[in-house]
Structure 1
């Protein structure tokens, strides 16, 4: 067994830090060795941490296995965890005006009502402060006992987002139907976000903004571990948003970052630095 730090928001934070972005991770950890390791590894990667220590709940754990090449199974052990006990009082240390983007996922609201309320409140504070709100649907069916409740939660996040990330399967779940990626993006944009990015795995990704759809092909890669690839993609995209780059460039960097993550084991270990991205840009054949 290999012990590693991970989780969607953690992965995005580390991915952004490796791309030179000042980033803070907000969460709650247990008073245990695992929680201390999470904080230590995030800080070692250049991520600032706001993480109250929960006196009762243990740090959440995921068990990940790779039964076959390119396939990864994950079991969540988060019921009653410190992260599930996140609450609005934990946000008191956060000055949202210090940030350019707030990024959240659909995972945290699935953990508990208090965690969902904390995410909703932080998004509201960001909107009032004119801070961009980024949401990755990150639907995890095993975290939800009621699929209708999951959709309702995801749509609430969607309505409060400026930038929405979703896989094509997640997009179909939210719109309740089928369609092309472009049609799905248009349907989701009607729910509130000004930018909708649909992740298409081996087919790349599309982004809809200002009525224009941009597409970027996936980077060819030998897949080792797909966990964390979507998070690396999001980190690449958001890094370029913060740099003021155009949509096509955002997608280009995002797909390269996602491919790099796929080619390495671990949730975030393959997340690239700018130097690694520039090597790919300079010589796209020599990957």
Structure 2
């Protein structure tokens, strides 16, 4: 197994007849979750990836497992809860820069994850454990589950990649900062956004934010800054890896997950950190041009086509 990730995926409904839910008479059903987005992205790029989660014993949960399995992700560690439902959310895409999300996930099956749901042998076979700041926000048992997963990884030489993925709707800002900084101290690689760094450390200068992240313990920090690209911070040096211009942003949700999938794929393929970030930038740019959280995640062939059309060199060669 190349990567193991853990977290909730929900059923997503998007208004079809009108961008506003109040006027919508029909909806499109999709699936969405940061961790499964990353898993699907990595699978499409040819890697072996496993997803740990919990779903309800309902039609939504059954459909979700079937769909994610069909994308090439190992779902053998996804448990079914007969006493809690699969989570839902609604997404209004008014424009490429105006997206509203409403969650209905309180008490969902995934919020009932516990450390007992983890198989240490499954985690320790991976090269990377990918976690986000969303899962520990769902419940105390989810927080404990993430902490246990990290402990298993560290005990077995599995590198921990942490994406803060701030979700202010899920918990208080004070609690969010406390836990996100704590998880940063336990990670080997951190993938924050610039705004997330400002939220966590109260700084607005990207250099100061990058240094604050490094001071907490990770050996590598990749800080995303939208279409500008991403900054690589390691030891006492930093560098901006430029992003890719796109004709139109259709749906920005999932771009960060795409970046994570592309970046991790680059590392797994043996590329330098800088080239891996370039691949991450490319995947993120590809994602925003297609509606849906994961639909724009490219295959390896699609990624090569995108890179060769917008870059002077083939970084996948």
TM-score (norm 1): 0.96
2:221 maps to what in 1? 196
CA contact (8 A) 2:186 2:218 kept: yes
Are 1:97 and 2:124 an aligned pair? yes
**RMSD of equivalent CA atoms:** 1.4
- Rounded to whole Å, the distance in 2 between the matches of 1:20 and 1:209 is 28
Query: Aligned-pair distance for 1:100?
Result: 0.4
1:10-29 matched pairs, under 5 angstroms? 10-29=36-55
Structure 2 residue corresponding to 1:54, chosen from 81, 91, 103: 81
1:216 maps to what in 2? 241
2:155 maps to what in 1? 128
Alpha-carbon distance change, 123 to 170 in structure 1, aligned in 2, over 3 angstroms: same
Are 1:159 and 2:179 an aligned pair? no
Query: Aligned-pair distance for 1:210?
Result: 3.5
Query: Aligned-pair distance for 1:66?
Result: 0.8
CA contact (8 A) 1:19 1:239 kept: yes
- Rounded to whole Å, the distance in 1 between the matches of 2:186 and 2:37 is 22
1:137-148 matched pairs, under 5 angstroms? 137-144=164-171, 146-148=172-174
Residues 233-277 of structure 1: CA deviation (Å, up to 9, x unaligned) = 000001111122112101110000000000000000000111111
1:246-257 matched pairs, under 5 angstroms? 246-257=272-283
5+ residue gaps, structure 1: none
1:176 maps to what in 2? 202
5+ residue gaps, structure 2: 1-26, 313-317
1:186 maps to what in 2? 211
Q: Secondary structure at the match of 2:131?
A: strand
Query: Aligned-pair distance for 1:32?
Result: 0.6
Query: Aligned-pair distance for 1:161?
Result: 0.5
Are 1:82 and 2:109 an aligned pair? yes
Q: Secondary structure at the match of 1:283?
A: helix
CA contact (8 A) 1:215 1:248 kept: no
Are 1:113 and 2:140 an aligned pair? yes
Query: Aligned-pair distance for 1:211?
Result: 2.9
Stretches of 4+ moved more than 4 A in 1?
none
CA contact (8 A) 1:54 1:82 kept: yes
Q: Secondary structure at the match of 2:305?
A: helix
1:67 maps to what in 2? 94
Query: Aligned-pair distance for 1:177?
Result: 2.4
- Rounded to whole Å, the distance in 2 between the matches of 1:46 and 1:65 is 28
Alpha-carbon distance change, 58 to 275 in structure 1, aligned in 2, over 3 angstroms: same
2:252 maps to what in 1? 226
Alpha-carbon distance change, 248 to 92 in structure 1, aligned in 2, over 3 angstroms: closer
Count matched residues: 284
Residues 212-244 of structure 1: CA deviation (Å, up to 9, x unaligned) = 312121211110000001100000001111122
TM-score (norm 2): 0.87
CA contact (8 A) 1:97 1:129 kept: yes
